[in-house]
Structure 1
Amino acid sequence: MTTPDALQLLIAARQCEMAELEQLERTSQWVDVIAQVIHALQRERGLSNLYLGSGGRRGQTELQRQRQVSDRAIQHLYTHVEALRGQRLRALQGARLYSQAARALQGLGALAALRRRIDQRQWDSAHSTSAYTQLVAVLLDWVFEAADTAADPDITRWLVALFNLMQGKEYLGQERAMGTAMLAAQRLDAALQRRLLHLMDAQQCCFDLVETHAADDLHRCGAWPLNALDSAEHERLRRILCTSTPGQTAPNELGPVWFDVCSRRIDQLRNVEQALCEALQRLCRDKRAQAEAALRQLEALPPSGLDNDPDEDLSCLTSQPPDADWPCTDTVARYPYRSLPGLLHEQQQRLQRLSTELDAVRASLQDRKVIERAKGLLMAHRRLSEEQAHRTLRQLAMNQGKRMVDVAQSILATAAALPDVLDGALLQCTPAPRSHHR
């Protein structure tokens, strides 16, 4: 009987790993391009609110200039999308990334119509903010898919940190836009004040996750801690916006000041984003170089994979007592350094370790998916805003002494099994829906 060459299969496995790392390196490059587009659109959103909130009296020149910056960043993204189409991706990875790219391109295609409505002042600040925010959310989902489909745990950890940094920066961008709209209109609104407090809380949650996944690495590249980016002026203006009596007239000159102060912090966060992207690309290059070296070592072995003693080959099946759990975990030291059984066992152990690490890193991504689905369910069943749904989940978690993701999983499970019971349960624990009357 002809036995397939195990060494050639090991080489094929390393070649697959090489292809994966090359794809991850390209992914890290276009994630940085997406981040550039998001940064430009965030500033455009804030300037649009300054223009709309002031009745067209402020910000028009700056807005037109910023649109040119956004268009250049978008054109750069389009170039990368064309290159992405020619890349060979894993079936599931390709389907998800291409689908998300299509959604992003559809949103960017609607940008011209959005700008016309702003120029003609057919939309108010609330409509403008909502449209830009939905567009940014689609772009962030694209980054999320990149993190969720990466197969290397170290690179996934960096992508998760980068995604949470971008998400926290987006919450700050929304804070800038809403505060600018309020101050430009010179009217403090209670609902918007509550929304600002929610955005501040959400920012901190994101930055805590960044610290969990990449604090040491950011320290090494001089981009941490994020708290060092806080400014006394920003906190002072936050207090004015969030603690002043609703309906009170805001000082006329605060709108541009708030916009500039928030912009400085957002620009600093963009610098951290860039540091993360550059470090991620270096990590991809280093890992690819290591994989290339390992591949060359395998390719240098004799075609037969060395002359192995059949008894030694059998040791991988007999090194543990009959009642021991499989796979065995302590036999690698018994193999000669360059023997084929040793190489096979080393590869098995390495892939198992990588899989375990990858599962741990992806857990935070899965938690986010569960929480977002539960919030969507609350919003649909009780006609809540996203902020109210988030507060409801958080309050339930505090009342029950559980993690928010555990409460979210319970809600989803109840909805699947007993939808009628869910409606009654949600009625007991959620606030009344917000009024749509002005």
Structure 2
Amino acid sequence: MNQFPKRLLVANRGEIARRILLTARKAGIETVVVHHPVDQDLPFVSEADVAVALEAETPVKAYLDQKQIVQIGLWTGAEAVHPGYGFLSENPDFARAVRAAGMCWVGPPPEAIAAMGDKVEARNRVAAAGVPVSGGVGDVLRNAEDAVAEANRIGYPVMVKASGGGGGIGMTVARDDDQLRKAFASARSMSERSFGSDRIFVERFVEAARHIEVQVLGLDDGSILTLGERDCSTQRRHQKLVEETPAPGLNPEVRARLLDAAVVAARSVDYRNAGTVEFLLDTATDEFVFLEMNTRIQVEHPVTELTHGVDIVEQQLSIAWTGTTTPDFAPKPEGHAIEFRLCAEDPVRFFPSPGPIDEWVEPSGPGIRVDSGYRAGLSVTPHFDPMIAKICVSGRDRNEALERARGALDGFLVGPVRTNLPFLRRLLDSPEFIRGSYDTSIVATVTSR
């Protein structure tokens, strides 16, 4: 049996589409991409063997058109479909449609996607397997008074969350009954608009917390492999900006427990392919709770690749096609890596700031890797997430990685579109980040100075 499919359709755009195409070319896989006309000049379109334009009312709807994408896959002779992240990557119906059409789905089974896609059901599932969760388990809350009763049971402050959501949408901290009633109504409305679901739950909010996640690979024989942890605590509006591995200053015993818990969580849904199990770690007690499982490749996967000497996209393709990793798969954890998300946004308020790119010079050198979706002469449109590149650095240890990061951030030249580079530089010079003793409040701390 061949290790990989002969022809792959990439159902995504921008940086992640280019990243998947890179691995496919190295593996000798022919590639197909779909694109909305607004993206026709982006690098990923010209880098594929075949590019097919999508028809839709809006650019976003184009990349969410399951039927059209499956038809293009069949028409172009694609044997497999890789969804990247975002868009349809965690849509179980799309995974089923790809499989029903006779193509290979490069991702976990639809049943695992569905089980982890609803946060309440996911919490119930992993808790039953023995993984700690915040505030206990149960049904979604029917109304604001149910939320108040639950908050008084587990204790304020609490975080209000959309059960079917992601990307920080609808998440609000409430510190008393009145705040919770308002937050519940707001979160329910936003969740219904964004995700087509009004299912809301609350969990205990930890004031000084770290966001730690574990990379897993599930194989067809039931094995769950782990590729270390990543610290994703640097966030604005509950969305990640910087990730690093290994998590600085993490107690080895806590690390071992996190990896074990991730394996248990993945096994609870018979997980296959690449995924990430996310936890919230209380810095005061070193206790952690399950947050969610992302049933796809993560934006921050490069730092794991840099410290383990593996290609996660390659392993995704191999597992999807053969049920197991490539024969030469031999991860060797060493060194330290950090990823900075370069976004077209106001560096103070973090609001999206689309615009033209007249200058685009990527840094290079030892330990520097840039995954990007743009080049000079293009424009960042307002239709999509504002991330335009990922600046990744690695070194023998964290100090060397930090030094290379300074050179990489200073060496990235982009304009006149506004980006968050000024903030990333300030963050890198902050005492908390330099020490590695930060938590999810670090962005607020840096911006308040």
Could you tell me the TM-score, scaled by structure 1's length? 0.26
Give the structure with higher Rg (CA).
Answer: 1
Please state which structure has a larger fraction of its residues in strand.
2
Q: Which has the higher contact order (CA 8 A, sep 6+)?
A: 1
Please state which structure has a larger fraction of its residues in helix.
1
